[in-house]
Amino acid sequence: NSNRGDVLLHGRRAPIRGRICMDQFMVDVTDIPQARVGDEVVLLGKQGAEEITADEIAARTGTIAYETVSALTERLPRRYAG
């Protein structure tokens, strides 16, 4: 899937651009001038007032939330809160 999602960066949504290749993709940070290499990016969860849920990702990609979450590989760092 390409050009169908967002990530959270500095508490704002930034769109995914181009094709996803294995477990890498590009993000358009044009509207987030403070973005820097090494900044934390949230794929699934909350950052500031914004949130991306598994249900949202599933709706964009034509699947279900369980499939979305189970497709995340062990290479992706996870941080649990709460």
Please state the domain extents for the chain. Answer: 6-70
Mean pLDDT confidence for 19-26: 83
Mean pLDDT confidence for 41-46: 94
Give CA–CA dist 1/18, Å, rounded: 9
- For residue 19, give both structure tokens: 């094709």
Give CA–CA dist 3/33, Å, rounded: 21
User: Would the pLDDT of 82 be above 80?
Assistant: no
> What distance lies between CA 5 and its chain's CA centroid?
7
Residue 2: pLDDT band (50, 70, 90) is low
Question: What fold characterizes domain 6-70?
Answer: Lyase, Ornithine Decarboxylase; Chain A, domain 1 (2.40.37)
